[in-house]
Structure 1
Amino acid sequence: MKSDDRELQSAKKFDSSRADEYETQSRIALAGYEACHELAACMLAATLGPGGNRRILIVGVGGTAQEITAVSRIEPTWRFVGIDPSEPMLARAAQRLEEQGLSDRTELHLGTLDGLSTDATFDAAMMLGVLHHLPGDDAKNAILNDIANRIAPGAPLILACNRYVYAKKPHLLAAWGERWRMHGATSEDVKVKLGKILQGADPPASEDEVFSLLANAGFERPEGFFSSLFWGAWIAWRTAL
């Protein structure tokens, strides 16, 4: 199975029903959802500098398009290209961008990065909440390489995903369940919600593995800036040619 086929296969679980609940559920599943996206925007602005006509690639934009919302709060002249293989999730993103008046600064594409020309060189890329949904290292390496081939040498990548094998961190998994219960879920609800989250998920086994994947794709100097239970967020730079 090709890497883009794996991405499309992973996207199938983000059907209409899951897309409908994503806005609320993502904020419960990730304690600090808003903070992570705000800090990601701040890290990007601190790296690229304020102002200008920057073009930012957003991989996995579907659902809330929160990356674009957060960056736009401090950089009103930057433009975005967002891509997502899930049609329902991309539709939710389009709706959110329209509501916030950001549609004219954003191009949305349904599909995978294979369908996006390598001639379009971006000033930076963001990929939050995608990597742990891709099965196996081959698919993870492929998407990171696809990003590297579409951003300028020396450009930053903001990456965020779950890391650790869930079953090997039972205390974190239990705390994750309590997070849902804190927001009104019953014990049975928690089992269902965790089951949905774990469905088909294959996170990197450690932060070191995240760094290894980045290095294999030509990214250097990874630096963490946010952590929440299984979740981590980093900035890294495409190796300069």
Structure 2
Amino acid sequence: MLHGKPGANGVIGHARAYEVLSMVVFAGRRRRTFGRLVALAGVAPGDRVLDIGCGPGYLTALAAAAAAPGGSAVGVDPSEPMVGQARRRRGGPHCTFEVGRAEALAAPDGTFDVVVSSLAVHHIPEEVRGTAFDEVFRVLRPGGRVLLADFRPPRGRLARHLVGATAGAGMRDNPVERIAPMLTGAGFTAVTESAAGPFLHCVRAVKP
């Protein structure tokens, strides 16, 4: 999820403030936008879904609903406040949340049918981003799908200045064009790119 400015090692706090910010940023289109991500990921009844960098769990909950009946969704985030907020607001028998990092997932090999992530890739430190993509590959079953959505930086000078001033250089210069090649390098196939909403760059791929 959109986390704002990160703390140490990409960890984000201030979960309640983030929840409000997210609603403002998406201007009433949050459900439509994140519903689009669930659809792009192809989440279906019975699927086991992992949401990496889940924040307060909005996308995780939508994925859990799409996976019903018979499926479930797990959200992981390095921020304890975010996970606490997610558990309070959206936790349930088929929608659970854990503290964890993308580069060191606790799940066994081949646990999930689908992995999703929204507005979190740019928070993963560059030095471990390749390891994180390898982890996504590892925890997916053969034929499993991944959908990564991250912030597409604006091109206009004023917009870039505003993004840099409010969200930092990491989002202003976010190299979303590197996501697809990195998924290919991790072993994924059928890599495709698309857009969801006004500023989300989406990359979908399949584990052979």
Does the alignment reach a TM-score above 0.5? yes
Q: Deviations over 1:163-214 (max 9, x none)?
A: 45x7x6525436xx5xxxxxxxxxxxxxxx853421655864243x221111
The answer to whether residue 27 in structure 2 is matched with residue 35 in structure 1 is no
CA contact (8 A) 1:133 1:202 kept: no
Q: How many residues align?
A: 200
Question: Paired residue for 2:20?
Answer: 24
Greater strand percent: which structure? Answer: 2
Question: Paired residue for 2:130?
Answer: 141
The counterpart of 1:107, out of the listed 92, 96, 106, is 96
CA offset at residue 7 of structure 1?
A: 9.8
Q: Aligned equivalents of 1:201 and 1:89: distance in 2? A: 20
Task: Extract unaligned runs of 5+ from structure 2.
Answer: 1-5
Indicate how the Cα distance of structure 1 residues 23 and 229 shifts in structure 2: closer, same or farther if over 3 A, else same.
same
Instruction: Give 1 or 2 for the bigger CA radius of gyration.
Output: 1
Question: Paired residue for 1:184?
Answer: none
The counterpart of 1:96, out of the listed 89, 99, 102, is 89
Q: CA RMSD in A?
A: 2.9
Task: Using the aligned pairs only, state the percent identity.
Answer: 20
Indicate how the Cα distance of structure 1 residues 218 and 169 shifts in structure 2: closer, same or farther if over 3 A, else same.
farther
Amino acid paired to 1:158: L
TM-score, with structure 1 as normaliser: 0.71
TM-score, with structure 2 as normaliser: 0.80
Which region of structure 1 is more displaced relative to structure 2, 73-82 or 211-220? Answer: 73-82
Matches within 5 A, 1:1-241: 9-11=9-11, 14-16=12-14, 19-30=15-26, 32-45=29-42, 50-51=44-45, 53-63=46-56, 65-77=57-69, 78-98=71-91, 103-113=92-102, 114-119=104-109, 121-136=111-126, 138-164=127-153, 169-173=156-160, 177=162, 195-198=165-168, 201=171, 204-207=174-177, 209-238=178-207, 240=208
Task: Extract unaligned runs of 5+ from structure 1.
Answer: 1-5, 178-192
Q: Aligned equivalents of 2:17 and 2:169: distance in 1? A: 16
SS of equivalent to 2:111: coil
Which region of structure 1 is more displaced relative to structure 2, 68-77 or 82-91? Answer: 68-77
Question: Paired residue for 2:3?
Answer: none
Q: Aligned equivalents of 1:195 and 1:224: distance in 2? A: 28
Indicate how the Cα distance of structure 1 residues 126 and 206 shifts in structure 2: closer, same or farther if over 3 A, else same.
closer
Q: Deviations over 1:93-129 (max 9, x none)?
A: 111114xxxx111332212242503345211101111
Q: Could you say which structure has the greater relative contact order, defined with CA pairs below 8 angstroms and 6 or more residues apart? A: 1
Indicate how the Cα distance of structure 1 residues 203 and 229 shifts in structure 2: closer, same or farther if over 3 A, else same.
farther
CA contact (8 A) 1:59 1:126 kept: yes
Greater helix percent: which structure? Answer: 1
SS of equivalent to 2:140: coil
Indicate how the Cα distance of structure 1 residues 203 and 127 shifts in structure 2: closer, same or farther if over 3 A, else same.
farther
